Structure 1
Amino acid sequence: MPEDAPAWYVSSAIEALAAHRGKVALSCQGRELGYSELLAAVYRTARALRRHGMRRGDGLLLLTGNRPEAFTCRFAAFLLGLRLTPLAPGLTDPRYVATDSGAVALISAEPVDVDLPLVLTVDELTVAAQAEPDDPLPVAAREQDIARVLYTSGTTGRPKGVPSTYQALGAATRSWGTGAAEMPAGLRFLLVTPFAHGSGDAALNMLRFGATVEIFDGFHPAEFVEAVGRAPLAVTYLYPSWLYRLLDGDDDADLGALQFLTYGSAPIAPARLRQALDRFGPRLMQTYATTEAPAIAMLDAADHAAAMGDRPGLLASVGKPLPGVAVELRAADGTTVPAGEVGEVCVKGASVMPGYWNRPELTATTLRDGWLHTGDLGRFDADGYLYLVGRLKDMIIVNGYNHYAGPIEDALTGHVKVREAAVVGAPDDRTGEAIHAFVVAEDVDAGQLRAWATGRLAADAVPATFTFLDAMPTTPLGKPDKKALRDKVTAGR
C-alpha cells in the first residue's frame, strides 16, 4: 500500500462501522448507541475538533475513562490523523504527559488544570459536535503518521512515551486476527478494564465485526456476573488478578453465556488457570504483549484444551509468536539461546514501536539491530511455545545463582491454600540476596509453605521469609506491584 494512501487501520474501521448499520454498537448504563449513530457522532466530533483548530499530526490527550464518548473521540482523532494519547484516570499525571508529548489539546471527563492551547470537557465537545453536520469526511491519516503515543505507568521511573504509526496499529490488528469475522449474532464484549489501554484496542476490533460493546466503569464481580446473565453471548478481557476474584466468588453464579474470556497484562498462576479451565472449559485465550510491542504471542483456545488433556505444562506458557512477529531469546552477550535455556525476549515486527518518544538514549539501549529488547526473560520448548520466567530487573541472585520470580511464584500458588503469590529479593548479609515471598492464603503458615516449596524448588530458590497479605497490591493495570512489595521489605528492615 502506498505510504501516502489513507491509513488502512482507520479506513477499514470506518467502513466496518458503516457496514453494521442497524446493530447496537455501544451500551452503557442502559443507554444504547447504534452503529449508524456512532458513525454520525464520529463525523460530527471530527468536525468540531477541526473547527477548534486540530489538524493532522497534532497531539491530543484523551482522559475520559470508560464511556461512549471515548470511542467517538478516538475514532474522530484517527479520522483526522491526530497523534492520540489516551490516559487512564489516576494512572499518569496529565500535566507531565502534556509537556512531554507535545500535545496541543486535552479532552477530559472532568476539568483539568493543564497548560495547553485547547482544553475541553467531554460535555463541551459533545455540545460543539451537535452543531456540526454528520456527512462523511475523508480519512486524513496516512500510514507513516504517528497514530498514538502511549505512556508506561512509570512504576520503575519516569513514564515513557511509546509511539505507534497507523501502519503499526494496522499490523497489530492483522496479527491479532482471531476469526472474528465468524462472530455469532448477539455477541457482547464486556469492557471492564481501562479503555485507554489494551482492552480499548480489543473493543475497537470487536466493533469491526459487528459486536456490541457494553461499557463498565471498572470490574465489580457481582455486576459482571449480572451482565453475563442477561447477555445472549458474552466475551471479555480480564487481568489475572480480576479473574481470581471471579473464581473466588459465588460458585453457583451463572456464567454459561460467557463464550470467551481473554486474559493478559500480567503473569497468571498455572494452578489458578487450571481452576478457570475447570470452571469455564477451554473458552480462554491468553495474550502476551507490551506497550512497546502490542502483538507478541498468544495461547489460544485449542492450546488451553490441550492443557486440559495431555499437555498440562502449557498452563505455564504464553503461547506461540503471532503471525508477522519474530521472537528470539538472547543471552547477555547478544547471542541466541537454544530451546530450553533462558534468555531475554527480543521482538521484531511491523507493530513494534519505532523508538521511545524524545528518548534517543533509551531507544538506543532498547532497540538494537532492529530488535526490541523487552526486559522479559523466557524460554522456548521444543514445539515453539514461549514460557516467561520473570523480568531482568526481578532476577534474584542468591549465593551467586540466578533465580527467576515466575517459577517460584508458580510453585507457591500450586499449594491449595494459596490464592496469590509474588516474590522479591531482600538484601542478605550471608547470601547477598534472599527470596522474600508475599502470599495471599488461608489456614497455612510459613513453615508449611517452606516445606511445600522445598519439594519443588532448588534449595536457594525456597523463600527465606514470608509475609501474609489479605490482598495483593496491584498496579492500575492489574500487575502485582513489585515496587510496593520491595518497599515493604525495605521498611521491614
Structure 2
Amino acid sequence: MTDKVWLSQYPEEIPHSLTYEDIPVQSLLTRGYEKYPNKISVHFMGRDLTFKEVYESSLKFANYLRRLGVEKGDRVAIMLPNCPQAVIAYYGVLYAGGIVVQTNPLYTERELQYQMEDSGAKVILALDILYPRITKVLKRTKIENVIITAVKDYLPFPKNLIYPFIQKRQYGFSVKVEHKGITHLFTEIMRTQEATPINVPFNSEEDIALLQYTGGTTGSPKGVMLTHRNLVANTKMCDAWMYKCKDGEEVFLGVLPFFHVYGMTTVLILSVMKYGKMVLLPKFDIEQTLKTIDKHKPTLFPGAPTMYIGLLNHPDIGKYDLSSIKACLSGSAPLPVEVQEKFEAITGGKLVEGYGLTETSPVTHVNFIWGNRVKGSIGVPWPDTDAVILRSSDGTILPPGEIGEIAIKGPQVMKGYWNRPEDTAMTFVDGWFLTGDLGYMDDDGYFYVVDRKKDMIIAGGFNIYPREVEEVLYEHDAIQECVVAGIPDPYRGETVKAYIVLKEGKSVTEAELNKYCRQNLAAFKVPRYYEFRKELPKTAVGKILRRTLVEEEKQKNLELQAK
C-alpha cells in the first residue's frame, strides 16, 4: 500500500473506499427487472425494449444455450455490433454460467480462427452477413453451434422490411440461413424458448465473466480473464465517480462498441446498474450521432477523442441541440485540451480524460468530472485503486516527478491471461500489475502518461499491434523485411505506417499491398501509408529500430509545422 496522496484531492461526494457486493454481473439485470420492469432499458433505431423484455429475452437465450450443452465455464463468442441482441446475449451467456468472448465483427477469417481456437468457444452468435466467414473457419475450431441474427430482427416496422434491401446494396450480397442442424436462428430462440430462471452457483471473485482479447508486441493476442468481481467493482467505481447521476434517470449513448471493454463497462453494465436507458448505435457515424443526441437527449456519452473531434468538425453541428449531455468520459487515446474545451462550450456538459487497460476492466484513473482537473493529466486513481511509478530496471517505487512504468493494484485488475501462466507471471511484480506505459505522478497525486513502453498503436480508439500487421506483411512473397509503426494523425491520433524492404528482383505497389492487407486484417489495422526503403535502421545485433522511424516521422511533422 502507498499513502495515496491523491485522496486529498477527492471531493467529499466520492468515498475513498467502496463496498462491493458478492454478486455476478447478471444480477444487475435481475434487479433492474425487479425494480423497473416496465422502464425502457434499450432503444435501437426506433425500437424500445423494457427491462422486463431484456431480462426475459436473456433468460430465453440462456436456456437455449443450456439445451445446446453450454455448461458453467464454457466460452460463447458474441460477434455483433451494438444492437439489442448484443445486450440480450451478453447477459444470457452469463445467466447460463458461460464466459463471454467478445469478438470484433471486423475480424477477418484469420483473426476469427485464431480467437476461436485460443478461447475454445463452443458457440458463436453473429450477424447473418458474417455467416459465410464463420463457415470457412468452423472445422478448424471447437465451435459446435452457430446462432445467427440480423439487424432487421429488432427494427420496427417498416424499417425491418426496408433494411434487407439496404444491406444487400451495401455489402453486395444477402445471406439466407435456415434453423437446422448446428445453425440456429435468434428469432426462433426468442419465439420458442421459455424464460425460466437458471440457478447456477457463482463465486464472483474466482469465476470468469469475460475473455477480452488484447495483444502485444511480443506475440499473438491474449485472452484477458476478467471475473464477475472485476467488472462489478470497476462499474461501481464509475458509478461513485459520477455522483451527480441519478438512478433511473440517465440516458446512455451507446456508440462505443460493446466488443471493446470500455464500451462494455461504461454503457452495457453501468446503464443496467443505474437502471438507465441505453440508446444504441451500431457504428459511429458523425451525422447519425448528432441526430441521436438531438432527438434522444442522452445525459452520458462515454467515447474516444476521435468521436468528439469528428462531431466538433461537422459543419452543421450548430443545428443540433447537444445540451442534454452532463458528462463524457474520454478514453482509448489522449484527449487534446482544445477538444475538451470546445466540446464543453458547445454542450455545457463535462468532458474528462481517463486511463485504463483491458487488463483493468478497464478504468484505473480519471480526472474529476465536477472537481479539480489538471490539463494533460489522466487524473487520479479511482477508489480502492492503488498506483505507483516503478523504475523498470529494479522495480523501485519512484518519487513524484520521476518517469517510470505505471503499475496498478485494485479489485478491477484481471485474474490473468487465458492459458498463459508465464505471460501472467511476467505482468505482475510483487502484486503490482505492470501497464507497459511510461509516466509520472506529480506532488498532488495526478498521473501523466508520457509514452508507451509497448509499441502498440492507438488509432481512433482501436488498439493495433505492430507485430500482428508485420506477420501478415512478412507472408507476402515480395517482402524481405518490414516494420510497422504508429505515426501522428490529426484525426485518428495515430495511424499505421509500414516501412518495407523488397526482395531483390521483386516488386509490389502500394495498391497491391493495400488489397492484400485488407484480405488478411480488419480494416482498422490496415496500413494507411507504405514507405519502400533499401534498408531499415537496426541495432548491432540486427533488431529493427522502430523507435528511430517514429522519431523521423515526428521530426518531419515538426518541420512541416514550422513551414
Could you tell me the TM-score, scaled by structure 2's length? 0.67
C-alpha distance in 1, partners of 2:244/2:347? Answer: 23
What corresponds to 1:106 in structure 2? 124
What corresponds to 2:264 in structure 1? 200
Which of 249, 254, 271 is 1:191 aligned to? 254
Q: Does 1:96 align with 2:114?
A: yes
C-alpha distance in 2, partners of 1:392/1:182? Answer: 36
Q: Does 1:287 align with 2:354?
A: yes
Which of 362, 366, 389 is 1:298 aligned to? 366
Could you tell me the TM-score, scaled by structure 1's length? 0.76
C-alpha distance in 1, partners of 2:248/2:408? Answer: 36
Contact 2:252-2:300 at 8 Å conserved across structures: yes
Q: Does 1:40 align with 2:156?
A: no
Contact 1:187-1:232 at 8 Å conserved across structures: no
User: Relative contact order, CA 8 A, sep 6+: which one is greater?
Assistant: 2
Which of 128, 134, 148 is 2:210 aligned to? 148
The structural deviation recorded for 1:240 is 0.7
Query: Measured at CA, do residues 105 and 135 of structure 1 come closer, stay the same or move farther in structure 2, by a change above 3 Å?
Result: closer
What corresponds to 1:121 in structure 2? 148
Q: Does 1:433 align with 2:548?
A: yes
The structural deviation recorded for 1:427 is 4.3
The structural deviation recorded for 1:15 is 1.3
Q: Does 1:318 align with 2:433?
A: no
Stretch moving more, 265-274 or 326-335: 265-274
The structural deviation recorded for 1:7 is 3.2
Contact 1:340-1:382 at 8 Å conserved across structures: yes
One-letter amino acid matched to 1:42: S
Which of 65, 70, 94 is 1:54 aligned to? 70
What corresponds to 1:18 in structure 2? 34
What corresponds to 2:485 in structure 1? none
C-alpha distance in 1, partners of 2:244/2:94? Answer: 23
The structural deviation recorded for 1:220 is 1.2
Stretch moving more, 33-42 or 156-165: 156-165
The structural deviation recorded for 1:350 is 1.9
What corresponds to 2:278 in structure 1? 213
Q: How is 1:359-438 mapped onto 2 (pairs within 5 angstroms)?
A: 359-394=420-455, 427=537, 433=548, 435-437=551-553
Contact 1:288-1:297 at 8 Å conserved across structures: yes
One-letter amino acid matched to 2:277: T
Query: Measured at CA, do residues 427 and 270 of structure 1 come closer, stay the same or move farther in structure 2, by a change above 3 Å?
Result: farther
Which of 443, 449, 457 is 2:561 aligned to? 449
C-alpha distance in 2, partners of 1:364/1:242? Answer: 36
Q: How is 1:168-187 mapped onto 2 (pairs within 5 angstroms)?
A: 168-178=230-240, 179=242, 182-183=245-246, 187=250
Secondary structure, counterpart of 1:287 in structure 2: strand
One-letter amino acid matched to 2:148: T
Q: How is 1:471-490 mapped onto 2 (pairs within 5 angstroms)?
A: none
What corresponds to 1:470 in structure 2? none
One-letter amino acid matched to 1:317: S
C-alpha distance in 2, partners of 1:173/1:419? Answer: 29
Stretch moving more, 345-354 or 140-149: 140-149
The structural deviation recorded for 1:340 is 0.9
C-alpha distance in 1, partners of 2:369/2:33? Answer: 28
Contact 2:326-2:348 at 8 Å conserved across structures: no
The structural deviation recorded for 1:433 is 3.4
C-alpha distance in 1, partners of 2:216/2:105? Answer: 14
One-letter amino acid matched to 1:194: P
Q: Does 1:270 align with 2:330?
A: no
Query: Measured at CA, do residues 157 and 44 of structure 1 come closer, stay the same or move farther in structure 2, by a change above 3 Å?
Result: same
One-letter amino acid matched to 2:419: N
C-alpha distance in 1, partners of 2:491/2:124? Answer: 41
Q: Does 1:255 align with 2:322?
A: yes
Contact 1:65-1:194 at 8 Å conserved across structures: yes
User: In percent, how many aligned pairs have the same letter?
Assistant: 27
One-letter amino acid matched to 1:95: Q
CA RMSD of aligned residues (A): 3.0
What corresponds to 1:485 in structure 2? none
Q: Deviations over 1:464-486 (max 9, x none)?
A: xxxxxxxxxxxxxxxxxxxxxxx
One-letter amino acid matched to 1:275: K
Q: How is 1:217-232 mapped onto 2 (pairs within 5 angstroms)?
A: 217-232=282-297
Secondary structure, counterpart of 1:42 in structure 2: helix
What corresponds to 2:226 in structure 1? 164
Q: Deviations over 1:54-92 (max 9, x none)?
A: 111111111122110111111111112211111121147
C-alpha distance in 1, partners of 2:444/2:127? Answer: 48
Q: State how many pairs are aligned.
A: 414
One-letter amino acid matched to 1:263: S
C-alpha distance in 2, partners of 1:54/1:147? Answer: 14
C-alpha distance in 1, partners of 2:148/2:345? Answer: 46
Query: Measured at CA, do residues 394 and 8 of structure 1 come closer, stay the same or move farther in structure 2, by a change above 3 Å?
Result: closer
Query: Measured at CA, do residues 181 and 119 of structure 1 come closer, stay the same or move farther in structure 2, by a change above 3 Å?
Result: farther
C-alpha distance in 1, partners of 2:423/2:538? Answer: 31
One-letter amino acid matched to 1:256: S
C-alpha distance in 2, partners of 1:68/1:291? Answer: 24
The structural deviation recorded for 1:154 is 5.7
Q: Deviations over 1:164-221 (max 9, x none)?
A: 1212222222222234684276532111121111212222211222221111121111
What corresponds to 1:7 in structure 2? 23
C-alpha distance in 1, partners of 2:105/2:333? Answer: 20
Secondary structure, counterpart of 2:239 in structure 1: coil
Contact 1:145-1:165 at 8 Å conserved across structures: yes
Query: Measured at CA, do residues 139 and 17 of structure 1 come closer, stay the same or move farther in structure 2, by a change above 3 Å?
Result: farther
Secondary structure, counterpart of 2:57 in structure 1: helix
Contact 2:439-2:450 at 8 Å conserved across structures: yes
What corresponds to 1:75 in structure 2? 91
One-letter amino acid matched to 2:232: G
C-alpha distance in 2, partners of 1:210/1:393? Answer: 38
Stretch moving more, 165-174 or 183-192: 183-192
One-letter amino acid matched to 1:79: Y
The structural deviation recorded for 1:428 is 9.3
Contact 1:6-1:139 at 8 Å conserved across structures: no
C-alpha distance in 2, partners of 1:335/1:446? Answer: 35
One-letter amino acid matched to 1:191: G
What corresponds to 1:328 in structure 2? 388
Contact 2:44-2:84 at 8 Å conserved across structures: yes
One-letter amino acid matched to 2:389: L
